[in-house]
């Protein structure tokens, strides 16, 4: 589930470019989605013990803690990039859809 949400989030973020400004509604929806995804991730790991968070089925696999750390670091970088693109003015012609 987390992987699916993360992939959807990445796809959403990378679909916006400087050459295709987004509407105010799209901007608000994206930020709302980011906040909802964060809340979902936190609720999924809340209450897990350190042992559960750090358990790995084998030496080459990632633990839950490793995955959360990766998602957090990657999301931070992507969010900073996305916020830079969101500074572009909204395209008011898209509101007419």
The per-residue pLDDT for range 32-91, each reduced to its tens digit, is: 988 898 899 999 999 999 999 999 999 999 999 999 999 888 888 887 887 777 676 666
- The residue ranking higher by pLDDT, 19 or 70, is 70
* Rounded CA separation 3/23 (Å): 27
How do the domains of the chain map onto residue ranges? Answer: 2-88
Res 19 pLDDT > 60: no
pLDDT score recorded for residue 3: 60
Q: What is the DSSP string of 43-75?
A: HHHTT--HHHHH--SSTTSPPHHHHHHHHHHHH
pTM: predicted TM-score of the whole model, two decimal places: 0.57
């Amino acid at each position: 589930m987390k992987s699916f949400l993360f992939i959807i989030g990445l796809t959403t973020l990378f679909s916006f470019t400087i050459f295709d400004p987004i509407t105010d509604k799209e901007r608000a929806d994206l930020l709302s989605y980011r906040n909802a995804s964060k809340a979902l991730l936190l609720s999924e790991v809340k209450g897990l013990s350190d042992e559960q968070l750090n358990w790995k089925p084998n030496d080459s696999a990632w633990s839950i803690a490793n995955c959360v750390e990766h998602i957090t670091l990657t999301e931070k970088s992507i969010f900073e990039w996305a916020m830079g693109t969101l500074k572009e003015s909204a395209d008011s012609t898209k509101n007419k859809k």
